[in-house]
Amino acid sequence: MIRVLDSEEPVGVDEADLVESIFKDGGSLMKVLDFEHRAEQTEMAMSVVDALQNGTHLLFEAGTGVGKSLAYLIPSLIHAVHNKRPCVVATNTINLQEQLLEKDIPAVRQVFESDERYQPFSDFKCALLVGRANYLCTTRLHRALSGQADFLDVSQRKELERIAEWAKDGAIEGIRQEISPPPLSVVWDQVNADSSLCSNKRCHPDHCCYRSARARVEGANLVIVNHSLLFSLLGAGFGPGDEEGGVLFADDFIVFDEAHEMPDVASDHLGLSISSWALETFLRRLYNPRRGKGLLKMAGRLSDFEAVENAIQAVDDFFQFLHVESLGQKDRSRLIEKGRLPMEVFPPLSLVLRKLVELGELCEDETAKLEIKDQAKRMQGYLNGLSEVFDLKNPDAVYWMERTGKKNQIIHLRSAPLKVAEILREELFAKQSSIVMTSATLTRKGKADSFRKEVGVDEVEERVVKSPFDYENNMQIRIMSDFPEPQGKNRALYLKCLVHSIDSAARSMEGGTLALFTNYADLEYCYHNLRAPWSKLGRSVYAQGQGFSRSELRSKMVEEEDVLLLGAESFWKGFDAKGPCLSQVILTRLPFENPGHPIMEAKTERLEAEGKSSFMEITIPKAVIRFRQGIGRLIRSHTDIGDLLILDSRILNKRYGVHFLSELPNANFDTEQLEEFDELFE
């Protein structure tokens, strides 16, 4: 997606003056949208103007309620339209992406249309960019409907017809996320745009969803993308080329919202991942021995079918070996020594690759030829990935295997770069693009040193503005001073105290309670022990992973207003429920990362070799950020009031506790004791 932009020098617009007139006290934002003036928001907007005009990087921490989205969208769009430069806004969550598209961007357009000074910017073009496998390709759809995907069974044909009906009447962007319920992956893979069949030669923007989306992106002033796709594109070498400048597009600039997620997402998507499910599914799509169907039935020979069948058995044996012999009772194991995995899987897979290459050359049907060549590329990718893992080829990466899935039966081979900072320094911050990074949680004690080191940005303007919310009057903080330690000898006592304290605190609170956990075992224990007593109260207990999606759980909390919700991982960040439906947040433990994770192990080894402490360099900074994110779930508006209860007594009793206490938004907290619950200790 290389852009050719008009390089004519813009004249006659003072961007700083326009932005100030919108955000100032009594400005257009107040008049048009009836917003109250926030000095913090104005400061952020003017900082974005300075960074874009000077071609510098900006790191801006803005507390909850500042209004970050408008503070970067308005100056970014003015600069993008004025200078004919594309702006890329990267978010980490779907919730924020939806907020931008459905609320914030229409609000910006309304402001621009309200005054003749801004009207030249009001017709800005905005586009959403998702991975091409998410888009429908109508060329492939019509091909599948005409019987050229005859290896689909009866139920899958019905699914194909459902997709066709949606494409005819319900598709908006033409992405799979619009289909409810989600389409079966085995069918969607036959009609999506991730294929050589979906090309400029065969597909046109007038009828192909992906080509239409690509045309919108290439003509957009503002492109919205998620962090995952952006880092995946960087890892794949996508971009305009060094001679043109820019990261994704020529002469672009990028705004990272939810920027605190950048290091972890970059690590995930700049590494390698091969799953048993993906590889086995790939082979069965070529040829499924049980059903006698598959892509190769169009052009394959008996020897080709036998090659795939042998490869399926070899892959099954390989992952079964990892499941039983390598992992054993563990769910995750780091790979340290080369040559420790069985090599027998390579010959059968290599034979399948040779068969695909031969078929690609011999096949006379042009459409089938392209499909087969696509599969050959994928097979080569799997072989390359397996070879990298077997030989631990990258000395600056960590390799491991792990179990995932509802039944813990899917085996993944993974890698992650240990020097994410160096990669981002070269692929992101060294480009001729301003990079703006913003979040409510980027700093410790007002400094972003840890974050800057993690992402590899050296020269950056660093600014911090606090939340305009009145935490001193609107948030009460209580800390249990004698709560048993989570990893103490008497684990049963800890769990008993956990259930009792959550139950007591939530019962005593009008409105809803969100209890945040750091592991699913404790969450599930509390859930199963709280359901019965709470049902007698006529109140609901819900838990992550117990039948409802995150959005459904939020809806339950908002609708019922007095529920107890138990959440982990993603509920510490980005979960937003305003008003009395969320009146209390309980932090069950300080959110330390698992020190036994292979990435943490490898980083710890490197730091110890340098004479440094991984606990102080990595563990504490990450835990403090997540701690702040958890606290941030409570007060989401000026009128919100609520209680924060911290059950982890280590925050008071350990030396490192000061790092967390210093980040409390209200320095006045009360301590409580479990002594009143003597029966717990009997």
| DSSP letters spanning 233-269 | HHHTT-SS-TTT--SSSTT-EEEESSGGGHHHHHHHH
Percent of the chain with pLDDT over 90: 73
CB atoms within 10 A of CB 38: 22
Place 679 in a pLDDT band, splitting at 50, 70 and 90: low
For residue 513, list its beta bridge partners.
Answer: 564, 584
Assess whether pLDDT exceeds 60 at residue 206. yes
Average of per-residue pLDDT across 231-239: 89
Decide if pLDDT at 316 tops 80. yes
User: What are the structure tokens assigned to 501, written together?
Assistant: 């304290």
3-state helix, strand, coil in the chain (%, to 5): 50, 15, 35
- Which region among 110-124, 129-143, 256-270, 667-681 has the lowest average model confidence (pLDDT)? 667-681
| CA dist., res. 366 & res. 372, Å (int) | 10
Contact 74, 45 (CB under 8 A): yes
Average the pLDDT over each of 46-50, 287-291, 426-430, 437-441 and give the range with the smallest value. 287-291
Instruction: Tell me what pLDDT residue 6 has.
Output: 39
For 356-372, the pLDDT digits (tens) are 999 988 888 888 888 89
CA 208 to chain centre: 27
Does residue 632 surpass a pLDDT of 90? yes
pLDDT above 50 for 559: yes
4-13, 232-241, 628-637: least confidently modelled range: 4-13
Which range among 76-85, 450-459, 546-555, 627-636 shows the weakest confidence by mean pLDDT? 546-555
pLDDT given for residue 173 in this prediction: 85
Distance between terminal CA atoms of the chain? 68
pLDDT at 151: 66
Q: Given this model, what pLDDT does residue 464 score? A: 97
Q: Give the residue-averaged pLDDT of 425-439.
A: 94
Mean pLDDT, the chain, rounded, equals: 91
Residue 241 has pLDDT above 60, yes or no: yes
- Tell how strand 541-543 and strand 564-568 pair up: parallel
Q: Give me the pLDDT at residue 5, please.
A: 37
**Mode of pairing for the β-strands spanning 272-275 and 410-417:** antiparallel
Q: What is the pLDDT of residue 111?
A: 97
| Of the candidate ranges 8-12, 550-554, 568-572, 655-659, the one whose mean pLDDT is the lowest | 8-12
Alpha-carbon Rg for the chain in angstroms: 27
Q: What angle do CA 549, 551, 555 make, to 5 degrees?
A: 115
Distance, in Å, from the CA atom of 600 to the CA atom of 22, rounded to the nearest integer, reads 46
Residue range 369-419, pLDDT digits in tens: 888 999 999 999 999 999 999 999 999 999 999 998 877 789 999 999 999
Q: Encoding tokens for residue 341?
A: 């995995």
Q: Regarding predicted confidence, which is higher, 235 or 515?
A: 515
Q: Please tell me the predicted confidence (pLDDT) of residue 522.
A: 96
pLDDT at 409: 87
Q: What are the E-state strand segments in 249-378?
A: 253-256, 272-275, 332-335
Instruction: Look at residue 488 in the predicted model and tell me its pLDDT.
Output: 76
CB distance 568 to 523 below 8 Å = yes
Would you say 352 and 283 are in contact if contact means Cβ atoms under 8 Å apart?
A: yes
Q: What local confidence, expressed as pLDDT, does residue 248 receive? A: 94
Tens-digit pLDDT profile for residues 578-599: 899 999 999 999 999 888 899 9
Identify the pLDDT of residue 681: 47
pLDDT of the residue at 9: 40
> Residue 64: pLDDT above 90?
yes
Using pLDDT thresholds of 50, 70 and 90, give the confidence band for residue 43. very high
At 675, is the pLDDT very low, low, confident or very high (cuts 50, 70, 90)? low
What per-residue confidence (pLDDT) applies to 480? 96
Instruction: Give CA–CA dist 143/340, Å, rounded.
Output: 45
Q: What is the pLDDT of residue 539?
A: 93
pLDDT (average), residues 279-300: 86
CB-based burial, 523-538: b 16+ in 10 Å, e otherwise = bbbbbebbeeebeeee
At residue 95 the predicted structure's pLDDT band, cuts being 50, 70 and 90, is confident
More confident residue, 241 or 665: 665
pLDDT score at 502:
97
Q: Which of 448-457, 609-618, 626-635, 670-679 has the lowest mean pLDDT?
A: 670-679
